[in-house]
Amino acid sequence: MAEVLLFHHARGLTPGVRAFADDLRAGGHTVHTPDLFDGRIFQSIEEGVAYINEIGFDQMRERGVRVADELPSDLVYAGFSFGVLPAQKLAQTRPGARGAQLFCSCLPISGQWAFGPWPDGVAVQIHGMNNDPIFVGEGDIDAAREIVEKVEGAELFLYRGDQHIFADRSLPSYEPDAAVLLTARLLEFLDRV
């Protein structure tokens, strides 16, 4: 069974993120869900992003990276939207990573903002909706396609719809059919890494 470090999105560690982690635990996996916002939950992505901007994106990402210092190195790193920042950085830079699960966001592996090339042997799946104005509209899908093109075995799954955080059942953006399929794919991934 896998051990997962799961980072929440810009709205915070919502009941839906906790429930998602519980679904993975029910599959026999260990899941850590750090609260990078110290208990704050925001009513919108925009409010959460404003809070992140107050602290600083780099500082907030590094909060997540530091969480891993207390955990084993052979983790699967996962993140929803904003949570992809620390998850992807750890997957690409922390020795021993087993895999990465990137939900609704993706960072490039080349260019100015990259953490460097994808490490050999670190499995990765990227999940997003095909009409998500953030994932598609802001170019994350291009970064995801770059990873799939350059990393052996990398997978990109596109779901029909236009919601950003579609697997958090506590939000109005929840899309149950897509969320069930994402969870099934994730559990299968965790069973094989």
Break the chain into its structural domains and give their ranges. Answer: 3-74+93-192
Q: Is 107 within 8 Å of 94 (Cβ atoms)?
A: no
Express the helix, strand and coil content of the chain in percent, nearest 5 each: 40, 15, 45
Residue pointed to by tokens 């750090």: 34
* pLDDT for position 131: 98
Say what the pLDDT of residue 92 is.
Answer: 97
Q: What is residue 106's predicted lDDT score, i.e. its pLDDT?
A: 97
Averages of pLDDT over runs of 10 residues in the chain (193 residues) are: 97 98 98 97 97 93 93 97 97 97 96 89 98 96 97 97 98 98 97 94
What pLDDT does 3 receive?
A: 98
pLDDT value for 113: 76
Q: What is the pLDDT of residue 57?
A: 87
For residue 170, CA distances in Å to 11, 15, 107 come to 11, 6, 26
The label of the residue with tokens 């021993």 reads 96
CATH class of 3-74+93-192: alpha beta
pLDDT, one tens digit per residue, over 95-140 is 999 999 999 999 999 888 789 999 999 999 999 999 999 999 999 9
